[in-house]
Amino acid sequence: MPTGLGKTIFSEGKQQIHTHALKVKASDLERRNRVPTDLSELLKEGTKESHDRAENTQFVKDFLKGRIKEELFKLATVALYFTYSALEEEMDRNKDNPAFAPLYFPLELHRKEALIKDLQYFYGEDWKEKIECSEATQQYVDRIHHVGQNEPELLVAHAYTRYMGDLSGGQVLKKVAQRALRLPSTEEGIQFYVFGNISSAQQFKQLYRARMNTLDLDKNTKEKIVEEANRAFRFNMQVFDELDKIGKSLAEAQDGGLPVHDGKGDLRKCPYYADKLGPSCPYQGTVALAKQPLVQLMLAACVAVLAGAAAWYMM
């Protein structure tokens, strides 16, 4: 039996398999260790932490759970209207600028007209007189205008942060909002989330990434774009935090603003403390009333009458 030959073939085969495995591992490692240079990859990697933080803001978490009141959703729509008005104004301004031109997709992406429809739905025809730009939104808007007019090579960061997000997580939010607010199935009120001229969000995002990678940018500018995208995420989070605060005050107002507690603990921490708003705290209000001499006299009289009635009944 040609065992020797068999052994040789076997061991050669083993060697070959081993070498192949090493090659696969090496190419895997290479891929993993490769430092990305494409803008699309740099942005994805460089904003990962910001994305996690944005997803974990209280406003977004509540929204995802369907805990959003119509009043707050309307204010979020207002914030988006001012943001996209600024963004799209600056994109129009830079549509022929080679630093932005490959990313100019007004038909597919622009949201201002859709947001106007949503605002008409929620506020009526005179929506413009009923809305105003909040403080946090104004800061975001100011930055977008500054970038569009003074550093147009950074505009891509703002477009990326919003539109790629709208085509991704935005689609989840659309369904949540529709269900939570019982909006009509005709998609009124959520036109913002409807991209009628994009048949596949996934494919469009691929095209957008490819276009971002065609921009002629040096390493330093790419880094500045990633930095600007993180700044854009921060602006979004500031708007979310502002909305969260408004949402909390709306909830208190809707609950009648009368939190009931047992009167234990530091009274000054009660937001309805008498010094601020008079005796509107139900517990402290009752205690304060019971301490009035006239009320005490009336209470004593009531107790005496009740005791008399009870004694008469038991006779």
Q: Which stretch binds ligand HEM (CB under 6 A): 66-74, 99-107, 166-174, 247-255?
A: 166-174
Determine, following the binding rule CB under 6 A, whether residue 169 of this chain makes contact with ligand HEM. Answer: yes
Look up residue 82 and give its two tokens.
């001012």
CA neighbor of 236 nearest in space, from 294, 163, 180: 163
CB of 118 to ligand HEM, least distance (A): 18
160 marked among binding-site residues: yes
Determine, following the binding rule CB under 6 A, whether residue 200 of this chain makes contact with ligand HEM. Answer: no
CB of 43 to ligand HEM, least distance (A): 5
Q: Please, what sign has the CA dihedral across residues 40, 43, 48, 52?
A: negative
Cα–Cα dist 221/229, whole Å: 12
Cα–Cα dist 262/270, whole Å: 11
Cα–Cα dist 77/59, whole Å: 14
CB of 283 to ligand HEM, least distance (A): 39
CA neighbor of 165 nearest in space, from 114, 119, 111: 111
Residue with nearest beta carbon to ligand HEM: 169
Residues 214-243 that bind ligand HEM (CB under 6 A): 233, 236
Looking at the Cβ atoms of 8 and 168, the one nearer to ligand HEM is: 168
Q: Which stretch binds ligand HEM (CB under 6 A): 86-94, 130-138, 163-171, 289-297?
A: 163-171
Residue 104 neighbours by CB distance under 10 Å: 18
Residues 42-101 that bind ligand HEM (CB under 6 A): 43-44, 51, 54-55, 60, 64
Annotated binding site: 44, 51, 160, 209
